[in-house]
Structure 1
Amino acid sequence: MQVWIGRNGERFGPYADEEIRQWLRDGTCRPEELGWHEGMTDWRPLGELFPDERPAAGSVPPMPPPAPPPFMGVTDIAEPEYAGFWLRFGAWVIDYLILMVPFTIISLSMGLGAAMTKLLSQMESDQTAAISAYAMAVQPITYVLLVIGFVYYAAFESSKWQATPGKMAVGIRVTDTEGKRISVGRAAGRNAIRLVNAFTFLVPMVFYVTAAFTQRKQGVHDLLASTYVLTGRADKAAAPAPRSGTSGSFDA
């Protein structure tokens, strides 16, 4: 079992439970200091996590030192690595190529081929009318494809993988600001914001450009939906320790 320790407003670890037991016995750690391990919903005193371990007779627990604590191997939790523009661009390209298969099949089944043939035949006589008729003909197709793309992104990013196939391929994932899996509602909101870009007929990457300049490499949709795109696949990412709470909680 791997245990995190809370001390002086910071989190340290994780450490093996045997290390914690030894530190409790020799007085390096105090029973009232807070600990957390995967599966817990809140931080609890180490004395509750290891009730059989107490300082040896005659040992004097040290006063709370400034961080870092005096025992060996202490490391603060590292800042997550945020995915940059080019990783996200690569994921977008892969997802685009994947979606092109169903998009092409659906478009042709909804009459895209006939609309294009009619467009070419009318261009010689009245170009304005031909383009207008083509736009009207493909409008239902456009709406269907937008819905499919929306469902694709929202479903995958709120799934246990936290990523579309394209993001999984390049090794990135979508999280909330605590590094946790996002809900279906937040994924839907995040991707609804992305659809605004599609309706403006701008290059879809324009919402990603801000990722090259913001501190946490967030796109416009990330900023508005309070999400991050982090490096690392969800199935290999460490479970985040809780950051705040009441009654025995530990806020880092």
Structure 2
Amino acid sequence: MLTESESAVAREVLLHGPISRRTLAARLRLSPASLTRLARPLLSAGVLVELDDDGDGTVGRPSRPLDISPAAGTFVGVKLTGDRVHVAATDIRADLLDARDRPLDDPSPRGACLAIVEALEALGRDDVRGVGVSLGGHVADGVAVHAPFLDWHDVPLARTLEDMLDVPVAIENDVVALAEAERWFGVGRGIPGFLVVTIGAGVGLGLVVDGRTVRTPDAGIGTVGHLPLRADGPPCPLGHRGCADALLTTTAIERR
């Protein structure tokens, strides 16, 4: 298990590597000695690798840039909807290696967990280091507190899957997870603030402010869906006339 400081070093290299030690120390506000101390166990564990001298032209001892090891393993992302399981295997920098999807015939917690396990087995990867699961609804501390499209309440999804898969599992609201992915690896990389809006079974909003993804009890779960857009529009299932949910969701579009 990495310490908080070691995790900060690994995360910075993941997002900005290859990166010189000088630049890395400056970004983390560390002394050269502190960076060397923190990087040493990461290099020994194979999390980081040293590249050839970057030849940055500075005077003194040559600097070998640090990067995340390309052999850091496979990571799997899972998207759960009300009727399907989507899985994607990537390397540590989120470059796609394989992707599959399958029907979710049994949307109960047990049925969904079994479907996820079967989908991962179909990928045929024996080097999976971790799994992330996203779903619509309120998620907190590894628990699906309320997932309306699955009709779940207080399901300890992360712990259940960890017991079944024997790897670390994280779960997150799907829109928050998308915003986080764009912040780390996508079009939002390096942008301090942006919005992600999703339209499908519901309307969701992910928010990044000052380089951090906003996480609140209602983050991403569809409160933006009830913003009024057209006063004379049709009502949504909750009776709000002309709101985003009444006009923009898949069901609303199909009805028109």
Higher Cα Rg, which structure = 1
Higher RCO (CA < 8 A, seq sep 6+): 1
TM-score between both structures, scaled by the size of structure 2:
0.25
* Bigger strand fraction: 2
